[in-house]
Amino acid sequence: MDDCIFCKIIKGEIPSFKVYEDEKVFAFEDINPISPGHTLVIPKNHAENIWDISEEDLLAVQRASKKIAQGIKEALGVDGIACMQLNGRAVNQEVMHYHLHLVPRRADQPALPITRWSLKPGNMDEIKERAEKISAAIK
């Protein structure tokens, strides 16, 4: 897409700190990193979100993320990596080109807020009802 910032990064029209590229996937450093080594993995074909991306491109992103996560672990000596992917403005997706965040953390670094939430038991009847509704809608 012409006005998509990530499509421009893939084409080299906007500079980036590339860490990986293959036939279907491009990966580069986030310039507003949550933690050092925060990397974005994106499909070369423009797709907005999980509903839009082809299965083939989704698998290519996942396959590449394994290699890249290995590279991050080796290069930076991290203890964990959060794989985070947002779909839609309602969950604060900022760039409307599918992207998987790889957010590394060493045990001695501050906790990642995205990986911490308090556990509160839900209403079992409502959970059961929603599970049945979702299950019935999966094609």
How many angstroms from the chain centroid is the CA of residue 25? Answer: 13
Angstrom distance (rounded) from CA 46 to CA 64 = 17
Which residue is catalytic, options 46, 97, 99, 101?
Answer: 99
Q: In this structure, are residues 104 and 80 in contact, taking their beta carbons and an 8 Å threshold?
A: yes
| Nearest C-alpha neighbor of 102 from the set 65, 130, 136 | 65
Write the binding mask 77 to 96 for Zn ion: x where contact by CB under 5 A, - elsewhere.
Answer: --------------------
List of E strands, 3-126: 18-21, 25-29, 39-43, 80-85, 100-105
Which residue in the shown chain puts its C-beta closest to Zn ion?
4
Angstrom distance (rounded) from CA 37 to CA 105 = 9
Stretch that binds Zn ion, among 3-11, 13-21, 53-61, 98-106 (CB under 5 A): 3-11
- Catalytic annotation on 99? yes
Binding footprint of Zn ion, residue count (CB under 5 A): 6
Interaction of residue 68 with Zn ion, rule CB under 5 A: no
Shortest Cβ 7–Zn ion spacing (Å)? 3
Interaction of residue 44 with Zn ion, rule CB under 5 A: no
Interaction of residue 101 with Zn ion, rule CB under 5 A: no
Shortest Cβ 49–Zn ion spacing (Å)? 11
Restricted to residues 4-33, the positions that interact with Zn ion (CB under 5 A) are 4, 6-7
- State which of residues 38, 44, 97, 101 lies at the interface with Zn ion (CB under 5 A): 97
Task: State how far the alpha carbon of 23 is from the alpha carbons of 45, 89, 102, 113, in Å.
Answer: 10, 29, 20, 34
Residues near Zn ion (CB under 5 A) are 1, 4, 6-7, 46, 97
Active-site residues, by number, are 99
